[in-house]
Structure 1
Amino acid sequence: MKLQNKVAFVTGAAQGMGLAIARRFVGEGARVVAADINLDSLREGLGELGDKVVPVVCNVADSASVAEAVKLAEKHFGRLDILVNNAGVGGLDSFLDTPDESWQRVIGVNLTGAFYCARESARLMVKGGAGGSIINLSSTSALTGEGPNHYCASKAGIMGLTRGIARELAGHGIRVNTLVPGPTDTPMMAGIPDDMMADLLKAVPLGRLCGTDEIARVATFLASEDASFITGQNIAVNGGMAFI
């Protein structure tokens, strides 16, 4: 029970890595505010966990929506100890054909959304005075440049955001780290054609997709006292695909 009596706020919690992280956190003793744009999917994925999970509709690209979701955490549980910035979107635009609205959407959700959630969550953590842990989800695409331009840029920005706020929040006992997944077995990957998947797996030395629970276990480590002297770091979980 590495997270006994901790309170976590997990974004993008309706499916994939966010769902696995929320489930793992509850299993480790935490209570979770699970945020997503899709309330029905949240309830379907986490409903059986009862009052250990509070589902909340949240558009992370909207600062007012984020502020309301974090207030809900304070209302229900009185404090906040952990934030997992997992919500994200992708796209298939080539660089020369990327429309403004596509760039703004991806950066708005993946990077600006992480900033909004970190800012509001950190304010509550500072108010509580007991420190905390912020975990920002990036991507191996930020290291390799393999992927849509706006997605790579947003996920690289996450690493810079982590380093900057890690220094500023250290004096409050708040640790901030980036978890950097490689190709992971999520619904987003399900539509990839077999030939493209085969090429992708050739680039992974361990030769397979990462499981969502493998990501969740590392998130649990970073959220727990096992990582009490780790902050400002990029933790790659990518099967050897790229090195930091």
Structure 2
Amino acid sequence: MTDRPVALVTGGASGIGAAIVEALVARGFVTGCLDLRGSAAGAEHTVAVDVSDADAVASATEEVRSRLGPISAVVTCAGYYEMAAVTDISPESWRKMLRVHLGGLVNVARATLPDLIEQRGALVAVASELAIGGGDHDAHYAAAKGAILGVVRSLAVEVAAHGVRVNAVAPGPTDTPLLAADSPWRAPEYLDTLPLRRLATPPEVARCVEYLVCDGTFSVGDVVSVNSGAVI
């Protein structure tokens, strides 16, 4: 147990999630992490778990709670990305995309809401620019991320009276290993369409999450777009 506030971050072992863990630790949180792939640098305790498994998430959340204490901040960042034409997306691929992104958010929210209500805490979901603008060969990913925004807005209304703030960030393509070197999002012709002419960086996204967790006391159901001006 700790006398510091406790944050729970999913997908905190790499990329944007790792930057979020680092930012919250710097703000005084002791951080637990749920990640399928391994431990998160800076996190006090990591549990390897598939966020699409509701029972496993509930058990992992209880483990973090018993080790660190009541959870006052939650950030759902676990996910994955792939591109495919609609006609090439198998039924299983559709289901997996929804289970991981949408199911992951709902499973973690259900497991942590009692703590968040008690602590009058905050939940931030990482969505995507594609949830707002869509994208070529991105239908299943955009659908899953768009559903996240629907949950965030509805849950924000549901729990605001309990003092819990629920918001989202919607990053554009971000400079992480998730984007392969030959990704079309890294192509100069795409970058030239962005007002900033570059990808976002994980620390930039993490700073927006940090703001919503720590300082955005009047933000409820908001979606902060961190996308180099791709969607304005």
Q: Deviation of residue 193 (structure 1)?
A: 4.5
**Aligned residue in 2 for 1:192:** 182
Q: Which runs of 5+ in 1 are unaligned?
A: none
**Aligned residue in 2 for 1:117:** 108
Alignment of 1:83-98 (within 5 A): 83-98=74-89
**Aligned residue in 1 for 2:125:** 136
CA RMSD in angstroms comes to 1.6
Using the size of structure 1 for normalisation, the TM-score is: 0.89
CA distance in 2, matches of 1:182, 1:237: 6
Deviations 1:49-83 (A, max 9, x none): 4xx61111111000011101210121012200111
Q: Secondary structure at the match of 2:119?
A: coil
State the AA in 2 paired with 1:161: V
Deviations 1:6-63 (A, max 9, x none): 2111001111000110011111110001110012xx2xx51xx4xx611111110000
**Aligned residue in 2 for 1:30:** 29
**Aligned residue in 1 for 2:5:** 6
CA distance in 1, matches of 2:157, 2:183: 42
Deviations 1:162-184 (A, max 9, x none): 01000111111110001010111
Q: Is 1:60 paired with 2:59? A: no
Q: Which runs of 5+ in 2 are unaligned?
A: none
Using the size of structure 2 for normalisation, the TM-score is: 0.94
Q: Is 1:154 paired with 2:107? A: no
- Report how many residues are paired: 229
Task: Give the 3 Å change call, closer, same or farther, for CA 108–193 of structure 1 in structure 2.
Answer: closer
Q: Secondary structure at the match of 2:209?
A: helix
Q: Which structure features the higher share of helix residues?
A: 1
Which of 213, 217, 225 is the aligned partner of 1:236?
225
CA distance in 1, matches of 2:183, 2:157: 42
Q: Deviation of residue 5 (structure 1)?
A: 2.3
